[in-house]
Structure 1
Amino acid sequence: MELNTPHEEWDLEIKPHDSVFNLHLKDVWNYRDLLWLLVRRDFVSFYKQTVLGPLWFFIQPIFTTIVFTFVFGGLAKIGTSHVPQPLFYMAGTIAWNYFADCLTKTSTVFKDNANIFGKVYFPRLIMPLSIVFSNLVKFGVQFGLFLIVFIYYLIQYHYFPESLKPGDKVEPNLLVLLFPILMILMAILGLGLGLIITALTTKYRDLAFVVTFGMQLLMYATPVIYPLSEASEKYRFIIKANPMTGLIETFRYGFTGGGKFYMDSFVYSVVASLVLFMIGLIIFNKVEKDFVDTV
């Protein structure tokens, strides 16, 4: 006698073997509530016991811009492609900080969350994604500050040009419309590199220290404090090999019109960001299956 058993549908199916190319993106979407919870946790916990709280979002780029203007613009006399110095340095600073924060914080995901990963199941990709989104909140605040400075100099350029240095200009162009795409590319570039590094840190803990120190040096190989046009021809190809170069140059050129738009550098940045992001996802997916045994 054959019994008719009702068909059962499961929310989650655990399998012993899986392809590294199966990224479980559907699971990530199903756990989106957890993603927003982690974003809120990161935001609240970081500033909960600070005196100034979220004001640090504004203080960091303001002080960095002041120091860069004094040291590199005043003492070193490095040109800014006829863009007002505070506007030039703030544009590079906020873009670089977003990328750097995404990379450095993602690069220690396995080490920092080993206890949680070992106790409960959820898509591991949720953790690095929450870092990217929480950093996006910080960038949004700093971008608002940048817009205030941008509008201030835009008004000066059109109505009070005598208050600017001779030759300085602020002429936004249609490339400013690429801003959302630039943000996505910065996010996936930082995320992709961070995923690769965090996978390696499960066996090589020293990489965490190398990344922190290396990001400080890498900033000087990126046109944050100087335009690409001011770089020596001898070393320009090295700077162009940095995927962030095309993104920052395009971001700054779109809003200010200073310097020039390097199509080859921008296309290279797009391709490199997408490739590194996919490589990072695949490596992360492979390592997260058994990283608890090595962390």
Structure 2
Amino acid sequence: MSETQQQWTETIESKHSLFDLKLSEVWRYRDLVYMFVKRDFVSSFKQTILGPVWFFINPILTTIVYLVIFGSIANLSTDGAPKILFYLAGVTLWNYFSSCLTGTSGVFTNNSNIFGKVYFPRLVMPLTVVISNLMKFGVQFLLFLIAFFYFLSKDQIQPNLWILATPFLIFLMGAFALGVGMIFSALTTKYRDLQMLLGFGVSLYMYATPVVYPLSALSGIWKKLAYYNPLTGIFECFKYGWLGSGDFSAELLLISTAIILFLLAVGTLVFNKVEKSFMDTV
């Protein structure tokens, strides 16, 4: 076969443009994404007694703790929403975000053995983390729906059409975790202690986000700062749509969307730059 007739399926180059994200190549490797997602989901239940039940235990126990500490002892406002449902909504969303963020932040260091042996688009791994956690989120969201329909039957909540924005809110959370996680993943190839710092920072970040309290509980400078927290618009919109309570506006969600899309773009570019040489430092 002559050289002009040869068609290469893969071309590995030493250099490529910073803005060459090879998204079409990621799509061609979608079967690999599916395989990794299946692997992560199955490994979560491997050698466990209760299996998927653990996904229910975590939000239930956390909600009970919040109910006692923040609901009874601290007596924080829930804007009139049932406390159990209010905390369960916050826990369900937060678990998805924090799991995605901590998972994507260790992509390079946790998968260095695989990256060193075989080629595939590196962007596959952080996408796998987000999708895998989406499946776990679905299990916990089922628990939230059970509680939701119970309180709805008691006429204690007034949901509205903002419920329809739920898929978009989940996308924004995944995009935010993906963007910030890829930035930290790139940095931890040289500075391993940043991953430990991230774990501590995520815990603190929860208290800067309206998870256990509504936005209306803040005032002054704190409320203004909360408006520029990308998760504020997401949590307030979710609670407003499903529970019918909260200090929510479309402007708040637009601010969150703009910040998240910017961080996702930055994270993707940084990830694309570091993936070319990270094996030299990991």
**TM-score, L = length of structure 2:** 0.97
The equivalent residue for 2:36 is 38
The equivalent residue for 1:280 is 267
Q: Between Structure 1 and Structure 2, whose CA radius of gyration is higher?
A: 1
* Residue 6 (structure 1) shift: 5.4
The equivalent residue for 1:64 is 62
The whole-number CA distance in structure 2 between the counterparts of 1:17 and 1:128 is 22
1:3-152 aligned within 5 A: 7-152=5-150
What is the number of residues matched between the two proteins? 282
The whole-number CA distance in structure 2 between the counterparts of 1:202 and 1:220 is 28
* Residue 99 (structure 1) shift: 0.8
The whole-number CA distance in structure 2 between the counterparts of 1:127 and 1:178 is 27
- 1:260 paired residue among 247, 269, 272: 247
* Residue 236 (structure 1) shift: 1.3
* Residue 11 (structure 1) shift: 1.4
What does the per-residue CA deviation read over 1:194-224, in whole Å, with 9 as the maximum and x for residues that have no partner? 0000001111111000011111110000000
The equivalent residue for 1:165 is none
The CA RMSD measured in Å over matched residues stands at 1.3
Identical pairs, percent: 52
Q: 1:115 to 1:5 in 2, by over 3 A?
A: closer
The whole-number CA distance in structure 2 between the counterparts of 1:178 and 1:45 is 32
The whole-number CA distance in structure 1 between the counterparts of 2:278 and 2:36 is 21
* Residue 232 (structure 1) shift: 3.2
* Residue 70 (structure 1) shift: 1.2
* Residue 51 (structure 1) shift: 2.0
> AA paired with 1:9?
Q
- Structure 2 residue runs of 5 or longer lacking an equivalent are none
Task: Report if aligned partners of 2:215, 2:236 keep a CA contact under 8 Å in 1.
Answer: yes
* Residue 239 (structure 1) shift: 2.1
The whole-number CA distance in structure 1 between the counterparts of 2:64 and 2:2 is 75
- 1:177 paired residue among 156, 164, 173: 164
* Residue 15 (structure 1) shift: 2.0
| Secondary structure of the corresponding residue to residue 53 of structure 1 | coil
- Structure 1 residue runs of 5 or longer lacking an equivalent are 158-168
The whole-number CA distance in structure 2 between the counterparts of 1:96 and 1:37 is 26
Task: Report if aligned partners of 2:89, 2:239 keep a CA contact under 8 Å in 1.
Answer: yes
The whole-number CA distance in structure 1 between the counterparts of 2:161 and 2:130 is 27
The whole-number CA distance in structure 1 between the counterparts of 2:203 and 2:177 is 15
* Residue 5 (structure 1) shift: 5.4
| Secondary structure of the corresponding residue to residue 220 of structure 2 | coil
Q: Which moved more, 1:6-15 or 1:145-154?
A: 6-15
